[in-house]
Structure formats: C-alpha cells, structure tokens
C-alpha cells in the first residue's frame, strides 16, 4: 500500500490523511464544488474535484470515485464513516478493480447491514437479541399480522441502514400501520430499500457499543466499550467510556459477546457491535453491528492509547494486529461531545453560514477533531458536524469538569452551534449521576432545560 484515496470529507477526511502521513502513505482527497475551500484539500498530497454539491452526484457517485482512484494511482481507498462506508457493492467493486478497501469484506458488510441476517448471526453464536421478527417486511399488511406476536410497544427499524432513518416507535396497534408506512418510505428514500425489521421496544435502556478489531490472520479483539446513551432522535450527542453503569462482570460478558459475533463472521478491520442494556434487569441485547470506523472512535483511542485509523490501514495492507495479547484496560475516563452547526433554541435547525470567529480549546487532556477554521463557510448540503471535543481525565468527575472548562474556551461567531446545549447537559444532576437512558434528552432533559 502506497497511496490512499480518502473517499470522504470534513473531520474524518482530515483524520484519515493524518494517519496516512504518520505511516508514510500518500493521500488523495476528493471534493465537491461545495467543499472547494475545505481543509482536507490542502492537507492531502493531491485533491481532485468530483462533482456538484449534491452528495448523490459527488461523494456517493461510485463510478467517479473509482475513476479518480485509478487515475491517481491509488492502491487503497478509505471510506471513513457515512457515505460509501457500509455499501457492500462498493467494497466489492473496489476489490474487482484491484483497490484495497480499508474495511471489512463485502460479505461481512452485507451480512451485518441486513438487520435480520445480523440478528440470525447473533442468535447462531449464542449472543442475546431483543425479541423481534426474524425477517424484514416491505408489506404493511404482512407486518400488521406479525406485530401482535412480538408485543407492543414495537420499534420499527430500517433493514438496510441506521442513524435513526427509517426508525419509528409504535406504542400500540392503532398507531402501527401509520408508523410502518412512514418508516418504510423513509428507509426507501435513504437506503434504496424499504424493508423494515420489527423488535420489542424496551424503554429506559442504555446504548452500549463494543469496539472490535480483526485481522486477516483470524485474530479478533475488543478495545472495551463506549456508552452512547445521550441521544436525540436516535442520533448520538455524547459518548463516553468506560460506561459508568456496567460492573466488571457485565463488561466482560458484553465484550466477549461482541468478539464472539465478530469472530463468527471472520471479521477484518474496525467494527462496532452495538447493544442495549437494561439497567434494572442487568440484561444486554445485540441490536446491530456497524462495519466501519465510528464517529466516536477517539473515546477508545484516549482510553487505550491506540490509533485506530492507522491500525485500519495496516490491517488492510495485510499486517497482523499490533495490539498486545493481554486484554485492554481503560486508562481513566474519556468523553466525546459532538459539536454541530445547529441552533438548539430553534429546534436544532441547521445553521449554515460563515465563521467570523473560531477559537478552540488548547489544554492538557483535550483533543478537538475538526475541519473548521475562521472564514470557513459551512455548506448546507451535508452533515452538520463541526467537530468532536474529546476529553480525557483520571476519572469521570474530573473528565466532566475538564469538558466544561474546554467548552468555556470556545469562541464562535457567525454560525449557531450546540455548545451552549452541551454545557447545560453536562451540568444536569441526571447526567452527573448517570441516571439517563436513550430517550432522556427528548423526554426529560429538553423539558427541564
């Protein structure tokens, strides 16, 4: 591996470029017209325009992405997260062109991308799953007949994707049909597949995910867990590790389950096995696997002292995992806060515009991954993520205090951000006492705020 096409934009494109530079690899960036002044263009060794602002005609156009990779002599391609990162057909196309796809095999992406197949895979190797349907439904009438056997409330989830799209909660049969029509329509628009999987909705749960990594020699390890329970409309806002609600016995069990599942499908590269955890019963259930690097991977890097993106590149090139044989132990506590160009005072409405002021915290134990600079114009076409504030400290109490100090150091003007919202969130008794759940922001915090 000598030259890597970075098939993404924003902060993750910069993150990949830094990892390439660290390993002595050349990087080629791609950009749309909306990103002609983006920082990842300057950071890469070479940059190529790929089309107009619309993602479908630029970052999601597999034909032009592969053409650029071949024309620039790239022997590898890193998809980052989002966009083409979990498209099995694209991974297969890369392989057919002799380009290393920095990620798992097309087969693994396809298997875990289909929630019904992922569920069957988990059950097969003894990993607990939430009660639900074994098949995805595209016909509302068929789904209506299956719903009573699962029991209400029911969570409807898109078969072919995640990120909260194609997801609805039906509290009873009276609301089920409308929820199904909405979910399947949204899933079809987002993923080109309107199939919907049904599972029992368990209300006050924590969202726990385990970072796994596999190599071509068949070794699969875990790098501990992250707690991603602070969410809004199924979108993560705050992630931390270790989870403050897991005891050591549950921690070992949930991490072992993640490794068991990943090993059963011969998983290669970075991946995340996601679970819901019922704090009262102490039971956990597999919900899905993300076959890519996660937005929140820096939490794990801070806890373990690793570079997950560099490790992705090394493993994709055929190297064995560089991680020690002994299981990882968390070094202190880490919290990541996603800072978005959204206005919380206006229902989190997107806030594109020009940054007339932009100063970020620079202090010990603080990392900020971002592509923004003073004078940068936030385009309205893509995800609203501006950057990720990652804070590390010896324990959770000190970590929260350091995060608050870091938030106070931001000086931002020209674009509304979620910084005030995050600061308020970190000071609430529920968050400090870790008495939260995945719907806490919507059902309790927003009303109190």
CA angle 263–266–269, rounded 5-degree value: 95
Q: Which residues pair with 298 in a beta bridge?
A: none
Whole-angstrom CA distances from 127 to 54, 55, 80, 286 are 40, 37, 28, 7
Helix, coil or strand: residue 279: coil
For residue 206 the two structure tokens come to 């924590």
Whether residue 78 contacts residue 313, with contact meaning beta carbons closer than 8 Å, is answered with yes
Give the largest Cα separation in the chain, rounded. Answer: 59
Distance CA 14, CA 81 (A): 12
Q: Show the beta-strand stretches assigned E in 372-439.
A: 377-378, 385-393, 411-413
Q: Is 31 helix (H, G, I), strand (E, B) or coil?
A: strand
Distance, CA of 192 to CA of 165 (rounded, Å): 12
Q: How open is the CA angle 29-35-36, to the nearest 5 degrees?
A: 85
Instruction: Take residue 422 and report the two structure tokens written for it.
Output: 């995050």
Cβ 37 vs Cβ 377: under 8 Å: yes
| Catalytic one of 292, 396, 402, 439 | 292
Length of the chain: 449
| Spatial separation of the C-alpha atoms in residues 63 and 159, rounded to whole Å | 25
Judged on CB neighbours under 10 Å (0-12, 13-18, 19+), 363 is: exposed
For helices 88-96 and 62-71, give the axis angle rounded to 10 degrees: 30
Between helix 106-113 and helix 88-96 the angle, nearest 10°, is 170
The answer to whether 365 and 442 have CB atoms below 8 angstroms apart is: no
Strand pairing category for 269-278 and 205-214? antiparallel
Active site residue 219: no
Query: Catalytic residue positions?
Result: 292
């Amino acid at each position: 591996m000598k030259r890597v096409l970075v098939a993404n934009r924003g902060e993750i494109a910069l993150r990949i470029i830094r990892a390439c530079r660290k390993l002595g690899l050349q990087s080629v960036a791609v950009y749309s017209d909306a990103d002609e002044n983006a920082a990842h263009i300057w950071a890469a060794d070479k940059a190529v325009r790929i089309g107009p602002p619309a993602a479908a005609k630029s970052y999601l156009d597999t034909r032009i992405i592969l053409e650029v990779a071949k024309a620039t002599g790239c022997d590898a391609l890193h998809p980052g997260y989002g966009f083409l990162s979990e498209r099995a057909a694209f991974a297969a196309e890369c392989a057919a062109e002799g380009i290393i796809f920095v990620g798992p095999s097309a087969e693994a992406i396809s298997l875990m991308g289909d929630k019904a197949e992922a569920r069957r895979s988990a059950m097969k190797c003894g990993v607990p799953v939430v009660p639900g349907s074994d098949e995805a439904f595209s016909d509302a009438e068929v789904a209506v007949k299956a719903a009573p056997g699962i029991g209400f409330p029911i969570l409807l989830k898109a078969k072919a994707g995640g990120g909260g799209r194609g997801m609805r909660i039906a509290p009873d049969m009276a609301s089920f049909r409308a929820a199904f029509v909405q979910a399947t329509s949204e899933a079809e628009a987002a993923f080109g597949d309107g199939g919907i999987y049904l599972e029992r909705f368990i209300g006050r749960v924590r969202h726990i995910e385990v970072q796994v990594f596999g190599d071509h020699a068949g070794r699969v390890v875990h790098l501990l867990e992250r707690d991603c329970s602070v969410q809004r409309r199924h979108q993560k806002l705050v992630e931390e590790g270790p989870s403050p609600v897991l005891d050591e016995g549950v921690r070992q069990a949930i991490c072992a389950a993640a490794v068991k599942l990943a090993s059963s499908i011969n998983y290669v590269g970075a991946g995340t096995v996601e679970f819901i955890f019922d704090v009262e019963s102490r039971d956990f259930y597999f919900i899905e696997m993300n076959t890519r690097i996660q937005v929140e991977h820096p939490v794990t890097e801070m806890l373990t002292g690793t570079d997950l993106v560099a490790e992705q590149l090394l493993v994709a090139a055929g190297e064995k995992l560089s991680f020690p044989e002994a299981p990882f132990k968390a070094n202190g506590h880490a919290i990541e806060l996603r800072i978005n160009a959204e206005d919380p005072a206006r229902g989190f409405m997107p806030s594109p515009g020009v940054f007339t002021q932009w100063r970020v915290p620079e202090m010990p134990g603080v990392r900020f991954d971002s592509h923004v600079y003073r004078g940068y114009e936030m385009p309205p076409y893509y995800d609203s993520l501006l950057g990720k504030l990652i804070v590390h400290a010896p324990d959770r109490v000190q970590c929260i205090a350091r995060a608050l100090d870091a938030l106070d150091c931001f000086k931002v003007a020209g674009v509304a951000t979620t910084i005030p919202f995050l600061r308020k969130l970190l000071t609430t008794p529920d968050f400090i006492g870790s008495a939260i759940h995945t719907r806490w922001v919507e059902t309790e915090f927003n009303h109190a705020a």
